[in-house]
Amino acid sequence: MSKYRHILIDLDRTLWDFERNSRQTMTEMFSEYGLQQLCHADFQTFFDAYHVINTGLWKAYNNGTLTKEYLYVARFSLTLEHFGVENTYALGKKLGDYYVFESPKKTALIDGADELLRYLKSKDYSLSIVSNGFKEVQFEKMRTSGIDVFFDHVFLSEDIGYQKPDRRIFDHILGALSAQPARCLMIGDDMNVDIAGARNAGIDQIFCNFTDAKPDFTPTHTVFHLHDIMSLL
């Protein structure tokens, strides 16, 4: 019998295949808005630049140093500026709207996600999503990919007011669940956000090391495929 009762799970890149779904959305957007002609670049060059800019902005957002509203537009306006486009705010806003509207309609999941969730529910765990993602897209991602039915709770940083890895988001969740840290387990793909945050709150972790990363500290457990979690629980 597992000592855990509450399984906390990150959404993007842990269950929902963010990279695949994002790339598909960006490919469609690139064609829809004629960005190859505007930026004088092929899709891969554009996407690579966007990825670097977006990653940096998300790191700042997770650290609380910029707003959601700025990130929403800047990831596209700054990418356009990178390719020499001028007066980028209006188009950046349009691209931001398109991306937020279209990307959550994509349904690709990380391999093994559906099977894992079915297994965990069959074992009568209480499952909760814990995400820093934007509120207007996270519920849609879960619904369209069909995984919303597995979760008893969805904890979003926007609603709570703190973002992972801030310990206060985990303290809030423990209070909402009326749970002790020892009865909870966090599953996630980001060492600095999911795993370090849970560890600081006294919650055990499963690090989904899908990219063969070299962690700075040792998580409670490490897996390389979602299927591996079933042998732990």
The residue ranges of every structural domain in the chain are 6-16+110-232, 18-105
Q: Is the pLDDT of residue 63 over 90?
A: no
pLDDT at 23: 96
pLDDT for 62? 84
Query: What pLDDT, on the 0 to 100 scale, is given for residue 136?
Result: 87
**6-16+110-232 maps to CATH 3.40.50.300:** no
Please give the structure tokens belonging to residue 210. Answer: 């899908």
Phi, psi of 127 (to 5 degrees): -110, 135
13, 189 Cβ separation under 8 angstroms: yes
In this predicted structure, the answer to whether residue 1 has a pLDDT above a threshold of 80 is no
3 state SS of 178: coil
Structural contact between residues 14 and 208, judged by C-beta atoms closer than 8 angstroms: yes
Which band of pLDDT confidence, cut at 50, 70 and 90, is reported for residue 202? very high
Max intra-chain CA distance, the chain: 61
The CA distance from 203 to 189, in Å, is 15
CATH architecture of 18-105: Orthogonal Bundle (1.10)
Check for a shared fold between 6-16+110-232 and 18-105: no
Residues 62-77: what's their mean pLDDT? 92
pLDDT tens by residue, 107-140: 999 999 999 999 999 999 999 999 999 888 999 9
Check if the beta carbon of residue 188 is closer than 8 Å to that of residue 194: yes
pTM, to two decimals: 0.93
